[in-house]
Amino acid sequence: MTKILIVDDDDLFRTMLVEMVRREGYEVSAVSNGKEALEHIEHDRPQLIITDILMPEMDGIELIMEQNRRGNTIPVIAISGGRRAISLEFNLESAELMGVRATLPKPFTREQLRSAITEALQ
């Protein structure tokens, strides 16, 4: 079964996303920031990472950069709702420059998520 790691600091959104992905038939783990994600990956390597961009401790861009630095080839889907000072477009464009497989602006539909997962795993 394909393992997917979800990284998002918003407890409610993370819980909802875990359930959406689980209903698609994937094995799902979740953590609240990039630092926790790196620790998780060392012990239980997923086939896909879905990460928010803006988070405390270590954000999604830093997580993607560290994955690239380590030569890790796990595909990544970047998600973002933006913040007042930083637009979600800027966040997602930054992630694309880092080599993510897909991006999703928050909020997104289950169909958009399904499509992004399929695309990222190809």
The total of other beta-carbon atoms located within 10 Å of residue 64's CB is: 23
Q: Could you tell me what percent of the chain has a pLDDT over 70?
A: 88
For residues 103-114, one letter each, b for 16 or more C-beta atoms within 10 angstroms of the residue's C-beta and e for the rest, the string is bbbeebeeeebe
Look at the chain and report how many structural domains it folds into: 1
Alpha-carbon distance of 119 to 33, in angstroms, equals 24
Range of the domain at 115: 3-121
Please tell me the distance from the alpha carbon of residue 28 to that of residue 117, in angstroms, as a whole number: 13
Determine the Cα–Cα distance for residues 20 and 68; give it in Å rounded to an integer. 27
What is the predicted pLDDT for the residue at 80?
Answer: 84
pLDDT at 2: 97
Please report, for the domain that includes residue 68, its CATH number: 3.40.50.2300
Going by pLDDT thresholds of 50, 70 and 90, the confidence category of residue 91 is low
Amino acid of residue 94 = S
Residue 21 CB neighbours (<10 A): 23
